Amino acid sequence: MSIYEIIVQVFLGVVLADIASGFVHWFEDTYGNPKWPIIGKWVIEPNIVHHEDPLRFTKGPFLRRNQAVFGIALVFAGLFALTDSLNVLTVTFLIAGSYANEAHRWAHLPTHAVPKAIRALQHVGLLQSAQHHWAHHRKGFNTHYCSLTNMMNPFLDGLHVFRLIEGVLEGLFRIKPRYDREAYQHPTLGRRWIAPTRRLACAAAFHARVRLNAVLTWPHRCFGLNSFA
C-alpha cells in the first residue's frame, strides 16, 4: 500500500468517525431517555447533564468520561475482527472515534489548558474548535452534532440530514423527537425550531406509508378478508 493510499484511508477513517460521532450524539439528543436500561444511566443522563452544565464532564477522570465511547469502540473492534475487516481505515475509525469525547472535552476547556499540538489541530479544523462546538450549545442542541472535527457538520446541517431522518421516522413509525413529547420534556431543551425539512419529510413518509398500506391491504379489501392494517 502506497503512502498516498494510507493518507487517504486515514483521512476517510477520521471523516467516518466524525460522522459516527454526529449520529450517536443526534440519537442521544433526539430520542434518548434517561429511563432506558443501562444506556439511560451511562450515556443519556450524562449527555443531558452536559447540556445543563457543560464544564462538569471536563473534570472527571479520563476513563470515566470516556467509558461509554470506549465500550462502543470495543463492540465495533470485535465486529471488524470477526468479519476480517481490520485495516488502516477501520483502525483509524476506531482510534479517532474513541477520541471523539476527548475532542469534545478539548473544545470546552479554556485555551491555556489545551496542549499546543491540539490547539494547532483545532485551528485548522482537524479537531473540533471551541467556537465550532459552542454552536451546538448556543443553537438549541439541534445542530453541530459531530464532535470530532469541524469538517462534517456544515454538510450534515446544510443538507438537513437529521431533520430529514426525524421526519421520515415520524411519518413512518410515529416516533417523535424527545423535544416534542409531553412525557419526557427536559427543561433545558426548551422549544426548538421545527424545520420545514422535517415537516416535509414527515408528510412524504406518512403519505408513502398510507399508499403502501393501501397496496398491502388491497387483496383483503377486495376479497372480503380481514384487514391486517
* Residues near Zn ion, by CB under 5 A: 29, 141
Q: Which is nearer to Zn ion, 13 or 22 (CB)?
A: 22
Number of H-type helices and E-type strands within the chain: 11, 0
Q: Which is nearer to Zn ion, 136 or 198 (CB)?
A: 136
Q: Which is nearer to Zn ion, 27 or 80 (CB)?
A: 27
* Minimum distance, C-beta of residue 34 to Zn ion, in the bound complex (Å): 14
DSSP 138-192: HTTTSS----S-SSSHHHHHHTTHHHHHHHHHHHHH----GGG-SSS--TTT---
* Minimum distance, C-beta of residue 76 to Zn ion, in the bound complex (Å): 21
* Minimum distance, C-beta of residue 136 to Zn ion, in the bound complex (Å): 6
In Å, how far are 20, 61, 172 from 145, measured between CA atoms?
A: 10, 24, 24
* Minimum distance, C-beta of residue 50 to Zn ion, in the bound complex (Å): 6
Q: Which is nearer to Zn ion, 54 or 77 (CB)?
A: 54
Quick one: cell of 107?
473544545
What DSSP state is assigned to residue 127? Answer: S
Q: How many CB atoms lie within 10 A of CB 112?
A: 6
